Structure 1
């Protein structure tokens, strides 16, 4: 498919085979009156445009919807990802855990497990830990812990979907190799 990116008053637009009519319509949006832009919005979206929407945003939204109708919209996977990011932003304001960043070869992941530090190298086609190659981070996490883990959760690249449960207080390291329970204090009425 022959596609090229060009500029119009509506912003960047994709053109492809038979796109000349759409391109002409997109270029003409800047010349339309606000009344005509609002009418175009209603014909595309099926409802009136928000009254507070600035002219430039109105033009961009109309141009986007025209291109969606001509060339297709976002994939279902992209829509799910956008929803996930939006929900994370609404919930706690931190979207970093919702954004799945690809790991590039050369990246080193470090995780401490039961007092031992484990370093995993990201390599082409997988991961390397202790001179062994693995196809997934989950396989590395399983090799380290002996149990099934989501690798991205284990290495802190993704928040766990289930809340952390603690059946006992966390252990602390003493000067020796022994572990000790923290001292418990009685609650007072003060």
Structure 2
């Protein structure tokens, strides 16, 4: 990224940062009631440019809400951006060649424990029910209970002993067996 690009990004972030973390929910809720002219004004202030002409209003609001949140809470890290770019490129490549998506979803990259910051939410479907686990400073929170490890959470969900990181898709079977050797 060029120096001008970095400066432009910093200026956008500073402009969008006018909302505090506490007031962000109210500011985003207010977006839902604003007309397109007001949204356009906000877009120009936050993103420093004009939006695409074909952008529907509902998506317009969501992009603004995302940018406001990213300015206050932080944006995606480089590895997440690379992964999303790769997924988009794969999708564009499939569309261009007419290939259909396979039945199997692409593999989810593993996340090292050190990179799971407090506030990270892990989502796992088990027994036709979605489970959301929040990483906290002292461990993990699931169903308003604190747990010291993902293994404890996996046991609470399933009633059987699981490797917690593996249950949540953070570690593949092969990487687990390599560690155990």
TM-score of the alignment, normalized to the shorter chain, above 0.5: no
Q: TM-score, normalised by structure 1?
A: 0.43
- Larger C-alpha radius of gyration, 1 or 2? 1
Larger RCO of the pair (alpha carbons < 8 Å, separation 6+): 2
- Structure number with the higher strand fraction is 1
